[in-house]
Amino acid sequence: MAFTDKQESLVNSSYESFKQNLSGNSIFFYTFILEKAPAAKELFSFLKGSAGVQDSPQLQGHAEKVFGLVRDAAGQLRATGTVVLGDASLGAIHVQKGVVDPHFVVVKEALLQTIKKAVGDKWSAELSTAWEVAYDALATAIKKAY
Ligand code: HEM
Ligand code: ISQ
């Protein structure tokens, strides 16, 4: 099924909600990931060896990039029906770091829960589906390098 204007605008407006509390939402996102996949801590150079998730511009920057790429994927899906990686090395980075399928499931769940928290009572099944479809298409594009 085609990605609709409505789905794109749902993703765009909730992305703005995410950005409105970038610090709190980023902490929530990382904490969720590390709870579900503690070993992921050693994969990220910016978390490795640290006591835990602590707020920093660097941490926020990485989280913002991930959410921003999913948002961008939603725009591409609506416009062209497919997702092309802007940075072709993105696949290779994840291969090289040893990122595997179950990690993608954890990050997806973390992303959805973070958006859910960010939008509060604006959360809906439709909003969730829009993020899921965009994330899955982006993850597929990244995994093409595998
Ligand atoms: C690196 C995005 C999924 C682990 C990166 C980078 C981007 C990115 C943009 C480059 C470094 C940065 O600026 O952050 C994404 C997107 C994903 C995804 C859009 C899903 C659609 C995953 C998953 C994992 C993962 C599932 C595993 C938990 C990593 C690691 C690096 C990386 C370990 C290297 C970070 C470093 O130490 O510098 N990712 N990623 N990514 N990603 Fe992902
Ligand atoms: C996946 N890839 C790169 C950066 C990330 C930051 C937080 C959570 C997941 C990520």
pLDDT number for residue 146: 85
User: How many separate domains does the chain show?
Assistant: 1
Q: Tell how far the Cα of 30 is from the centroid of ligand 2, in angstroms.
A: 8
* Alpha carbon distance 11, 7 (integer Å): 6
CATH of residue 138's domain is 1.10.490.10
Closest alpha carbon to 32 in 117, 101, 90, 138: 117
Q: b or e along 116-126 (b: 16 or more beta carbons within 10 Å of the residue's beta carbon)? A: bbbbeeeeeee
ipTM over 0.90: yes
DSSP state of 120: G
Distance of CA 117 from the midpoint of ligand 1 (Å): 22
- Please give the pLDDT value at position 52: 86
This model's pTM is above 0.95: yes
Residue ranges in the chain modelled with pLDDT below 70 = none
Written as six digits, the tokens of 39 are: 């070993």
- In this prediction, residue 33 carries a pLDDT of 97
**CA–CA dist 47, 35 (Å, integer):** 14
Q: Is the CB of 99 under 6 A from ligand 1?
A: yes
What is the domain extent for residue 40? 5-143
